[in-house]
Amino acid sequence: MSDNKYAVAGPNFQDYITCPYDSAHRIRPSRFTLHLICCSKNFPSSKKVRCPFNTAHVHSVFVMKDHVAECPDRSLLERYKLPDMLPPVEPRQTGFLIETDEDWDAEPPVATYDPQAYCERTFVIRNPQGNPPAARRAFRKRENKRFTGKDGS
- pLDDT tens for 101-133 read 888 888 777 888 898 889 888 888 888 889 999
Does pTM top 0.75 for this prediction? no
> At a CB cut-off of 8 Å and minimum separation 6, what does 152 contact?
140, 141, 144, 145
Residue 11, pLDDT > 90, answer: no
Return d(Cα 105, Cα 16) in angstroms, integer.
46
The kind and range of the H/E element at 27 are strand 26-27
What counts of helices (H) and strands (E) characterise the chain? 5, 4
Q: Nearest-5° angle of CA 58, CA 35, CA 33?
A: 60
**Among candidates 117, 150, 153, which has minimal Cα distance to 138?**
153
Residue 153, pLDDT > 70, answer: no
* pLDDT tier for residue 10 given thresholds of 50, 70 and 90: low
